[in-house]
Structure 1
Amino acid sequence: MFAELTGFLDYLDSVHARTRRVVLCIPPALLEWVPAPQRWSAGDQVRHLAAIERWMYAETVSGRPSRYEGHGKVLADGLPAVMAYYDAMHAESRAIFAALTPEQWAGRTTTPAGATIGTWKWLRAMLEHEAHHRGQLYLTLGLQGIVTPPIYGLSEPELAAHAAPRG
């Protein structure tokens, strides 16, 4: 999918920007609201995305073991701190990814489970992981009636209104 690291980095930036737009919709009072017992809050989801990108993905592609330790409020408490943590972990991760050599990019990475996978495929999985949690953020906010931005410019009703009739 990503023949070159630069293409991946560009796409990573766009994925991060889309997620960040949703994160900015979280009202501070609802940051730690959970929809049901044993479920994650929006704050948990954002801290998780930040921590796993930096402390699992960035570490493992660098040839180091995962240092991911969770998503709790100890990492960042309150919306300003969560946003700062999210942005800081992304910036650190992106710098680590950008420093990968072509050999590392085309090489293999060992996952925390001990499997080996192509580095670019491992980082592609990270993007899928982020999309998964972004969807959870949309659902969590939707359950609270929070208006969220469409991912690519049109909401579903707007898209349907622009559709050509089938015939």
Structure 2
Amino acid sequence: MIHNVEEFAQFLDGLRKRTMKYVKVVPNSILEWKPAEDKFSTGDILRHLASSELMFLSVFEHGKWSYPGHESSKGDNIEEIIPYMEACHTRLMDGLLTLGNDLLEKKVPTLHGHEVSSWRIMMALTEHEIHHRGQLSTYLQMNGIEPPQIFGLKIEQVER
């Protein structure tokens, strides 16, 4: 359970900084690449990560799931996508800090309409980010790009 929104926001900010290490190695040449026709492209994943932060904030602020989409109008190259991601993250962080610890007392709907404590949706937000960061890592590797090490070392470099 989360007990302090400011501490959660700091954790979430660190999580996003680690994700951005991956984003910053994405070349424009693979933004439209996807592993299959019915899957997200690399660019879709990045825009989705950004837009989803606004979706989660909508639940916290208004009790309503509203997804702003991930179409290429939100950035069709990495130079446009990164500022979109940064703007969405800033909006989420400001919103969380404005809501403060009162958010933790709030019940919010799940995507299926069941009410749960908001901290459960806050945890889902982090799980969502980590899921798509892993997906991005796989996309990079499938395109011959070595993803950054999340904590600076490869497992082979850790002492046994």
Which residues of 2 match residues 1-167 of structure 1 at below 5 A? 1-54=1-54, 56-159=55-158, 162-163=159-160
| Max Rg structure | 1
Question: How far is 1:70 from its partner?
Answer: 2.4
Matched AA of 2:96: F
- Post-superposition Cα deviations, 1:83-127, rounded to whole Å, max 9, x if no partner, equal 111110110111111111422223211233212111122111100
Matched AA of 1:90: H
Task: Could you tell me which runs of 5 or more consecutive residues in structure 2 were left unpaired when the two chains were aligned.
Answer: none
- Post-superposition Cα deviations, 1:114-167, rounded to whole Å, max 9, x if no partner, equal 1211112211110000000000000000001111111122112223xx21xxxx
SS, match of residue 152 in structure 1: coil
124-133 or 62-71, which deviates more: 62-71
Question: How far is 1:26 from its partner?
Answer: 0.3
Name the CA distance, whole Å, in 1 between partners of 2:100 and 2:4.
10
Matched AA of 1:58: L
- Post-superposition Cα deviations, 1:45-86, rounded to whole Å, max 9, x if no partner, equal 0100100111x1001101242220421212221111111111
SS, match of residue 74 in structure 1: helix
Task: Could you tell me which runs of 5 or more consecutive residues in structure 1 were left unpaired when the two chains were aligned.
Answer: none
TM-score by length of 2: 0.93
Partners of 1:63 and 1:110 within 8 A in 2? no
Matched AA of 1:5: V
TM-score by length of 1: 0.90
Matched AA of 2:29: A
Name the CA distance, whole Å, in 1 between partners of 2:102 and 2:146.
44
Name the CA distance, whole Å, in 2 between partners of 1:117 and 1:141.
36
Q: Which has the higher helix share?
A: 2
SS, match of residue 108 in structure 2: strand
Matched residues, number: 160
Name the CA distance, whole Å, in 2 between partners of 1:62 and 1:7.
19
Name the CA distance, whole Å, in 1 between partners of 2:142 and 2:154.
17
SS, match of residue 26 in structure 1: coil
